[in-house]
């Protein structure tokens, strides 16, 4: 029969969901991070409890300036941090990240991702976030050239390749972002790094395999999780990703 592979949880956290019995899991199991952009904002605590089998919760902070949408800021993120059953993967779609990102590390977020386009000094900011105890992530919009970031990959714990234009949930996956993802995957392998490669935008059971094939190991999913029973949707995404993971 197929083997079950246990995935070590982050320190102090309950283990993530097991791969369904009878399904083969790859040693590098896919991390599934549901986006609360697709949750019911009035019942956030309940919505967080529904994704307890996920690896992390993806928290989209938008400022109505870097992107044309406004979501939440530090007070709400602090409350999510207090009640979430899984660690926070904060994605800052905000201007002047150098100034504002450290505040989210201060709140205790496990990971803080800022946009390359919104940071004056991405390396200095990443180092500051790491010094504060958070994982440091850098996100690239679809139109952003990956080239300048390939040689400084070691400065980051995660690279987020946007597979939609940031700003709104529910958009369609952009397959033409896969070459960019592959470039990061190749650089990661060449440099022997343990940087996580995340994709965000239009991830479903139908598209997750394409991203996994191109080297992604961490997947943000909104409607694909909250559009049904989250626990079974998360399990389905894990299986679909594992089928294409190298």
Catalytic residue set:
60, 200
Could you give the CA distance from residue 207 to residue 36 in angstroms, rounded to a whole number? 20
User: What residues contact 24, with CB distance under 8 A and at least 6 apart?
Assistant: 2, 3, 242
Helices 122-131 + 97-106 axis angle, to 10:
10
Distances (CA, A) of 33 to 150, 162, 213, 238: 24, 14, 18, 11
Give the three-class secondary structure for 135. Answer: strand
* Residue 168 backbone dihedrals phi, psi, to 5 degrees: -140, 145
How many angstroms from the chain centroid is the CA of residue 200? 7
User: What residues contact 75, with CB distance under 8 A and at least 6 apart?
Assistant: none
* Residue 111 backbone dihedrals phi, psi, to 5 degrees: -140, 140
Token duo for residue 98: 């150098």
Determine contact, residues 199/160, Cβ cutoff 8 Å: yes
């Amino acid at each position: 029969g197929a083997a079950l592979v246990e995935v070590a949880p982050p320190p102090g956290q309950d283990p993530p969901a097991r791969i369904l019995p009878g399904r083969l899991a790859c040693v590098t199991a896919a991390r599934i991070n549901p986006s609360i952009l697709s949750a019911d904002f009035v019942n956030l605590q309940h919505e967080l409890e529904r994704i307890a089998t996920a690896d992390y919760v993806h928290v989209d902070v938008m400022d109505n300036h870097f992107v044309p949408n406004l979501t939440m800021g530090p007070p709400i993120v602090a409350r999510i941090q207090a009640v979430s059953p899984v660690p926070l993967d904060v994605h800052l779609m905000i201007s002047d990240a150098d100034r504002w990102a450290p505040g989210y590390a201060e709140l205790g977020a496990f990971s803080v991702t800022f946009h390359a386009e919104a940071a004056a000094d991405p390396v200095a900011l990443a180092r500051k976030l790491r010094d504060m105890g958070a994982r440091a992530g850098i996100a690239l919009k679809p139109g952003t050239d990956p080239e300048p970031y390939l040689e400084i990959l070691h400065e980051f714990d995660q690279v987020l390749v946007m597979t939609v234009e940031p700003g709104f949930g529910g958009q369609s996956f952009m397959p033409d972002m896969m070459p960019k993802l592959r470039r990061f995957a190749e650089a990661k392998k060449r440099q022997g790094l343990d940087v996580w490669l995340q994709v965000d935008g239009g991830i479903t059971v139908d598209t997750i395999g394409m991203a996994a094939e191109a080297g992604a190991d961490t997947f943000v999913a909104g409607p694909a999780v909250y559009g049904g029973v989250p626990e079974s949707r998360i399990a389905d995404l894990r299986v679909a990703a594992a089928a294409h993971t190298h």
